[in-house]
Structure 1
Amino acid sequence: MAIRGALRELSVQLSLLNRQVGARLELKDVDLDCLDLINAHGPLTPSALARRTGLHPATMTGILDRLERGGWISRDRDPSDRRAVRISTRRDRNAELLGLFAGMNTSLEHICAGYEDADLELVADFLGRAAEAGRIAAESLTAE
């Protein structure tokens, strides 16, 4: 099926792009993934992030330590429960991160310009459903 091959190739190319971005920022691939999840869904507790990634809490602590030392995240007490910690990204670092993805983002804008809005909605729906399938598959492997 052509779509599976195209998705596999997209996955590989995005992984390679992320590896290059991570190398420029001196971040491991998993650090960049966690940073992206915090940006998208944060602020998060360390345990919520560990659940989302399927990583052991001790592993997550090491990742968060590296991200905090690098100035990418902050750990703050939750105002509603002073015992809990919430992790958020340092928004002042986003420009640096986005700058490294600028080439890809510009390319995507050019690609999208060649499609009708209805076509893009269909593609977005497909990609969202494919991402959800991937999340569910990863969760099922984590549960084993």
Structure 2
Amino acid sequence: MATQADPAARRRLAVAVKDALRELNIQLSLLNRRFGGRVEVRDADWTCLDLINRRGSISPSALARLTGLHPATLTGILDRLQKGGWIVRERDPESGDRRAVTLRAVRERNAELFQVFSGMNQRMDEVLERYSDAELEVIADFLRRTGTAGSDSADELGS
């Protein structure tokens, strides 16, 4: 843990980081809402689709645990994603239960997602060019740890 000579200055910096994270959360929420409007995917639907894309094939029950969504709510989301051609439900070959399914993203549709996010990706590339490799390592570590803190806090609230 880093030590600081001036605790008041440290507190001010910590508040500035937390405020910046709150602003980032707001801006990303607004971006996701507009993105969702462009590809006709609701906010919660987009979160589920992104998780399926990032995690690979996953069971509906595992997705429900990850998202904290009620199974009935998740069923509606999955129905919309499947109807929109974003995911497929496939029989789970690992399960002895013939009713068991896994969810798989239709990766061929990802090009549409990348196109809509191309402006943000380009802007992020421009932002990242300003940092050294060592600084990018620190930023990536900070973001991973922040993600873990968020996940842990969500789990705590879900209990």
What TM-score comes out, normalization by structure 2 length?
0.88
CA distances 1:29-57 after superposition (whole Å, capped 9, x unpaired): 00001001111112110000000000011
Q: Does 1:116 align with 2:122?
A: no
CA distance in 1, matches of 2:148, 2:30: 22
The one-letter code of the counterpart of 2:62 is A
- The residue type equivalent to 1:59 in the other structure is T
- Structure 2: 5+ residue stretches without partners: 1-14
Q: How many Å apart are 1:142 and its aligned residue?
A: 1.2
- State the partner residue of 1:26: 40
TM alignment of 1:41-60, pairs within 5 A: 41-60=55-74
- Counterpart of 2:49 in structure 1 is 35
One-letter amino acid matched to 1:79: P
SS at 1:115's partner residue?
coil
Q: Which residue identity lines up with residue 118 of structure 1 in the other structure?
A: A
Tell me the SS of whatever aligns to 1:114: coil
Instruction: Please tell me the root mean square deviation across aligned C-alpha atoms, in Å.
Output: 0.8
Deviation, 1:83, is 3.5
Which amino acid is 2:72 matched to? A
What is the distance in 2 between the residues matched to 1:91 and 1:41? 12
**Counterpart of 1:106 in structure 2: which amino acid?**
Q
Q: Tell me how far apart the structure 2 counterparts of residues 17 and 41 of structure 1 sit (CA, whole Å).
A: 22
Aligned: 1:61 with 2:65? no
Aligned equivalents of 1:27, 1:40: Cα separation in 2: 17
Task: Mark the runs of 5 or more structure 1 residues left unpaired by the alignment.
Answer: none
Match of 1:132 among 141, 144, 148: 148
How many residues matched?
Answer: 143
Which residue is equivalent to 1:88?
Answer: 104
Q: What is the CA–CA distance in structure 1 between the aligned matches of 2:99 and 2:44, rounded to whole Å?
A: 27
CA distance in 2, matches of 1:69, 1:135: 29
Q: 2:119 and 2:100 mapped to 1: Cα distance?
A: 39
Q: What SS is found at the alignment partner of 1:75?
A: strand
Question: What is the deviation of 1:107?
Answer: 0.7
Separation in 2 of the partners of 1:2 and 1:35?
32
What secondary structure does 1:48 align onto? helix
The CA deviation at 1:141 is 1.1
